[in-house]
Structure 1
Amino acid sequence: MDTPRPRGIVVFGGGTATNSLVDVFESLRESRNCSLSYIIPISDNGGSSSELIRVFGGPGIGDVRSRLVRLIPDSEADAGRAAIKALFNHRLSSDPLRARSEWLDIVEGRDQLWADMSSEKRELIRSIFNHVNLEIVKRARPSSVFNFAKASIGNLFLTGARVFTGSLESAVYLLSTICAIPSTVSTLPAINSNFTHHICAGLADGSHITGQNAISHPSAPTALPDTRAAADENNDNNDHVLRETEAHDRIEDATLPGSLPSLRKPYIDFSKADADDDDLPARIERIWYINPYGHEIWPLANPKVVAALQAASAVIYSVGSLYTSLVPNLILRGVGAAISNDGPASRLRKKVMILNASVDRETGPLSRPLTATDFVRAIARAGAESQGHFGHQGRDDEVRRYVTHLIYLEGEGVPAVDRDELAALGVDGIRVYGRRTDGVLQYDEAGLARALEAVMGKPEMVRSRRNTSTQ
């Protein structure tokens, strides 16, 4: 019996960076007439998501919303689609009082954002807005009121739909339906959960940084001491943490008493530009999930993520933050095994990393940035940890189980690529040409699409009754 060929494309990636390549992945999907699944982390606790997490709890859904809105099909003839995209991409004013007034205008249907939208969609969307607004009012306390500053309307919708249905995947389904996203493309949260999931970074100097926002943006090490002895060595810092914890415990919100202060702070205002210029104290060695008190946990991946991987002919690690956009997806239980499975069908699978065109705070220090070889080893290590293998993560003889090809650019600021090193790991390096936009090197979409097509080979012909002989 012939081994069934895997079908489908799975793309790992976070928000903005991967959004720029959506058209490339869609053209690849069309040429193969298969499904396309985007795997999105839910560990982001920065921006407007931080306020939703503080008041409602639940997953960080900013990247999920960003991908769903990006996938809305463009149509110059359909003003309604443009209106929906504008609504769910809209952010309220940075002034809290003005933002609250803007929000009420939207809830009551008086804002101009509704002008070109059909009445049935407007009232369906408004029903969710009314629900989340009621929940915000119910949760108001003298010590804690919701801050609407810079709030994402799309994030408020997804949170309202999740709270109303009690299901994250139902909220994603509702937004996908309203946005008329084709059924051939799916956006899958890495974890299907109504709970908040935070990550922690272990640095080479032994310190920890808790929370995705603190990892990606300037922050001092934030983990509580693990033992009383360690606390005694740094009583001043420990006393400060305890005072900060006590202060947060007086605020009634969705966080549990005694939770790490770094996971309870609002992070509405931060600058991504500043983060790239501020090195971490030391290089990141490992990422793991933690509960609100800082203890390591091992969450299960969304079952739909595992199913998509098992059926995929290609797994693509897209551009974006290595340790906060890619690795949080890969260390989940079930993911590493689904990618690296040695079954007959999975041996046909291509596993392609699209290397970032620049280094950032996570892949520095800028004086010693990670190389392409470091990137693929980090992917392999995360896949091994997903399966509970903590002693030999990223081992050279196992790298090809997770990465078979690396696509890269050449230019100033790009991570260094040694093709001989990659070949020794079983990884094929493929150079493509890019273009500079406002001085920033980026992938050329046509060139990247050709490289991906070359890696995956000619599309398999779909058999039909017309070209199938009978005996």
Structure 2
Amino acid sequence: MASNKPKGIVVFSGGSAANNLVDVFKAVREDKKCQLSYVIPISDNGGSSSELIRVFGGPGIGDVRSRLVRLIPDDPDHDDSEKAAIKIFFNHRLPKDQGAARQEWMQIVDASHSLWTNISTAKKELMRAILNSVNFEILKRMRPSSTFDFSGASIGNLFLTGARLFTGSFESAIYLLSSICSVPNHTSVLPAINTNFTHHISAGLANGTIITGQNSISHPSETTALDTTPLTAHEDTERHDLIEDANLPGTLPTLRKQYINFSKTDEDDLPARIERLWYINPYGQEIRLAANPAVLAALGQAQAIIYSIGSLYTSLIPSLILKGVGAAVANPSIKYKILILNSTNDRETGPSSSPFSALDFVGAIAKACAESQSISPSREVGKEEYCNYVTHVVHLTGPGTPAVEREALKQIGIETIKVYGRRGEGEGFTRYDEKGLVQALEVTMGRRDPRKDKVRRNTLEG
């Protein structure tokens, strides 16, 4: 018996960049009246997540947390002070000074902090129970060689970690935070891998260089390890083995250090292009991992896939190379596979002397999806295969935007849709206009006649 339930939309994305488009995806979902699923990677080992991973192990949860909190509904017709307070609470970060951070943390767990204002007693005591639980786990793990550093810690990340440790289930922790945040049932946030373990990535450059750990790939930061005395690799490993943390003895030191302080705006070029990305075990050896079954189920019921803006190799590729994903994406029953091209190139899609074009972005996605299905990571992917994984490219135009080879893409069966963007005050790059992007996605997915939409002229050029 055929189901009348409309097929869903699956969005592959990372954290902060795609958070800016949540209202766009919400509008498209409402237009389609279907399920919306966000697939989020769990390989981030930078920022306050690095300290949670060092002490507790487990997945990188920052992007999952930020998407759940971003999905807290806004109702302009009602004054919902509790939802606003919860959003502020879970987005709050402790001070960068370690002493001040610990002091503020204690004010939060003993309920004397002003962040609790406007949060109902029932939710407050549930949230406090989880935070006190993770605080107890921090105290249990305290050793002379290893104490938890609260500097810049995200309260939402601490909560999600506490819920995972309390329930023993990452999936349950997401369900709890999703419930507290009142995320609608028609929208789900799915970690690319459903795991209680830490999984790291490495990237291989065209010049043969291998970079280990997402933080080092995406935005290298100041290392804040307990002792920064220069040592040989062997001595460095032995020194870290004396520290009691969540890492196995012999784990690569670069995966055990704290990377609390970093900047996403002050980035140096990579010495060469990234050619491939893969998962590694704690000793740096390549491993192949299966995707979260819930992700494969969402793809199996999808009418459209959207690759959102964000870091190509650390936000999109870690989800696409997982076993099962490539075959699910290639399913011809999924008619629309839409890449929203970044408005500018970053560290991962450079260097500046050889920036990625639209065809390069599409090629990287196709290669990752093909690798997901293949035992051999070195298999070449012909351009004629690209349309199995990307059918449409939505892009901006203007200074600094990636080049778009319209004719070359058309020849291999990929359509391009140009959207006129806007420049924010003081910004050196073009942003997508929300109305224009919604229109582009709706037109691409075959629902609306653009001549009937009341949007400003020349927003869209097919």
Aligned residue for 2:441? 452
8 Å CA contact 2:109, 2:128 repeated in 1: yes
Aligned mate of 2:353, from 367, 374, 377 = 367
Q: Deviations over 1:316-368 (max 9, x none)?
A: 000000000000000000100111024xx33xx20000000000000000111
**In 2, Cα distance between equivalents of 1:74 and 1:219:** 35
Query: Residue 46 of structure 1 aligns to which amino acid in structure 2?
Result: G
Indicate the SS of the match to 2:261.
Answer: coil
Indicate the SS of the match to 1:268.
Answer: coil
> 1:273 deviation in Å?
1.1
Aligned residue for 1:410? 397
Query: Residue 322 of structure 1 aligns to which amino acid in structure 2?
Result: L
> 1:123 deviation in Å?
0.1
8 Å CA contact 1:218, 1:280 repeated in 2: no
> 1:2 deviation in Å?
8.1
Aligned residue for 1:469? none
- Taking structure 2 as the reference length, what is the TM-score of the superposition? 0.92
Aligned residue for 1:443? 432
**In 1, Cα distance between equivalents of 2:305 and 2:178:** 23
Q: Deviations over 1:62-101 (max 9, x none)?
A: 0000000000011351110011001000000000011000
**In 2, Cα distance between equivalents of 1:54 and 1:175:** 22
Aligned: 1:421 with 2:442: no
Q: Deviations over 1:402-437 (max 9, x none)?
A: 000000000111110110111122110110100001
Aligned: 1:354 with 2:340: yes
> 1:199 deviation in Å?
0.4
Aligned mate of 1:279, from 269, 285, 289 = 269
Aligned: 1:177 with 2:206: no
Aligned residue for 1:52? 52
Aligned residue for 1:321? 311
Aligned residue for 1:397? 384
Indicate the SS of the match to 1:156.
Answer: helix
8 Å CA contact 2:6, 2:34 repeated in 1: no
Aligned: 1:81 with 2:68: no
Aligned: 1:310 with 2:300: yes
What 5-or-longer segments of structure 1 have no aligned partner? 221-237, 460-471
Aligned residue for 2:452? none
Aligned residue for 2:454? none
**In 2, Cα distance between equivalents of 1:122 and 1:2:** 44
Change in CA separation of 1:338 and 1:143 when aligned onto 2, cut-off 3 Å: same
Aligned residue for 1:127? 129
Indicate the SS of the match to 2:207.
Answer: coil
Q: Deviations over 1:125-176 (max 9, x none)?
A: 0000010000000000000000000000000000000000000010000000
**In 2, Cα distance between equivalents of 1:393 and 1:6:** 36
- Taking structure 1 as the reference length, what is the TM-score of the superposition? 0.90
Aligned mate of 1:341, from 331, 336, 352 = 331
Aligned: 1:294 with 2:312: no
**In 2, Cα distance between equivalents of 1:5 and 1:164:** 36
Query: Residue 453 of structure 1 aligns to which amino acid in structure 2?
Result: E
Aligned residue for 1:207? 209
Indicate the SS of the match to 1:23.
Answer: helix
Query: Residue 306 of structure 1 aligns to which amino acid in structure 2?
Result: L
**In 1, Cα distance between equivalents of 2:95 and 2:3:** 56
Root-mean-square deviation (CA, aligned residues, Å) is 1.7
Query: Residue 22 of structure 2 aligns to which amino acid in structure 1?
Result: V
**In 2, Cα distance between equivalents of 1:78 and 1:417:** 44
> 1:219 deviation in Å?
7.6
Indicate the SS of the match to 1:272.
Answer: coil
Aligned mate of 2:166, from 144, 164, 167 = 164
Indicate the SS of the match to 1:201.
Answer: strand
8 Å CA contact 2:221, 2:262 repeated in 1: no
Indicate the SS of the match to 1:410.
Answer: coil
**In 2, Cα distance between equivalents of 1:283 and 1:358:** 16
Query: Residue 386 of structure 2 aligns to which amino acid in structure 1?
Result: V
**In 2, Cα distance between equivalents of 1:251 and 1:11:** 39
Indicate the SS of the match to 1:313.
Answer: strand
8 Å CA contact 2:371, 2:379 repeated in 1: no
Query: Residue 201 of structure 1 aligns to which amino acid in structure 2?
Result: A
Aligned residue for 1:188? 190
Query: Residue 51 of structure 1 aligns to which amino acid in structure 2?
Result: E
Change in CA separation of 1:158 and 1:251 when aligned onto 2, cut-off 3 Å: same
Aligned residue for 2:28? 28
**In 1, Cα distance between equivalents of 2:105 and 2:445:** 47
**In 2, Cα distance between equivalents of 1:70 and 1:158:** 15
**In 1, Cα distance between equivalents of 2:221 and 2:410:** 37
8 Å CA contact 1:385, 1:393 repeated in 2: no
> 1:6 deviation in Å?
6.5
> 1:213 deviation in Å?
0.1
Aligned residue for 2:262? 270
Q: Deviations over 1:178-216 (max 9, x none)?
A: 111100000000000000010000011111000000001
Task: After the TM superposition, list the runs of 4 or more consecutive aligned residues in structure 1 that deviate by more than 3 angstroms.
Answer: 1-6, 391-394
8 Å CA contact 1:381, 1:395 repeated in 2: no
Indicate the SS of the match to 2:265.
Answer: helix
Percent of aligned positions that are identical = 62
**In 2, Cα distance between equivalents of 1:93 and 1:175:** 23
Aligned residue for 1:93? 95
Indicate the SS of the match to 2:39.
Answer: strand
What 5-or-longer segments of structure 2 have no aligned partner? 223-229, 449-462
> 1:5 deviation in Å?
8.8
**In 1, Cα distance between equivalents of 2:183 and 2:361:** 32
Aligned mate of 2:371, from 372, 385, 390 = 385
